Amino acid sequence: MANELRGSCLCGAVSYEANGESAFQGFCQCLDCRKATGSGHLAAIGMREEAVKVIGETKSFSKPADSGGIVARHFCPTCGSLLFDKSTGMPGLIVLNAAVLDDPEVFKPESIVFTKSALSWDHLDPQLPGFEGMPPME
C-alpha cells in the first residue's frame, strides 16, 4: 500500500513524515507494546527507514523484546507520546505508531501479532489473521 504519512506527538514538538510502500500494517499485542502505549495493543506501520523523516529530537528506551531482538522505543521528551520503534530483529525498518497519525484512517491493518498475549477486553477485528508470535518476515 502506498502511503504519504504524517504524524506527531501530543505537544507537537516531534513529528514524522513517511512516503512509499509500507512493509506491514497491523496490531501488536505483546506486553511491551501494551505497556508502551498504555493500551491493549500497538497500531503499527512498518516502513523502510530511508522513507521516514523525523522532525525534532526524541528520547529512547531500549530493551529485549519477546521476538528476541532489542527494541528501541522513541518518544517525545516533553509529552511522552510514543512515536516509533526500531528493532534489531527488523533491520532497515522503522515501526511507526499509527495512533499518532494526523489522519489515522490511512492505517489499514492486515494482521495481529502476539495474540498469545491478547487481553480478554481488547477486541480487535476477528477476521484479521492472527499470529501467536512474530510471523517470518518476507
> What pLDDT digit, counting tens, does each position of 46-56 carry?
999 999 999 99
Strands 111-113 and 24-28: parallel
Are 114 and 28 in contact by the 8 Å Cβ rule? The answer is yes
Architecture field, domain 2-119: Alpha-Beta Complex (3.90)
pLDDT of 2 higher than 60:
no
Per-residue pLDDT reduced to its tens digit, 81-116: 999 999 998 899 999 999 999 999 999 999 999 999
Q: What is the pTM of this model?
A: 0.91
Q: What is the pLDDT of residue 134?
A: 82
Are 54 and 14 a contacting pair, CB within 8 Å? yes
Give the residue ranges of DSSP H helices in 27-131: 31-37
Q: For the chain, what are the domain ranges? A: 2-119
pLDDT at 1: 47
Residue 3's pLDDT is 64
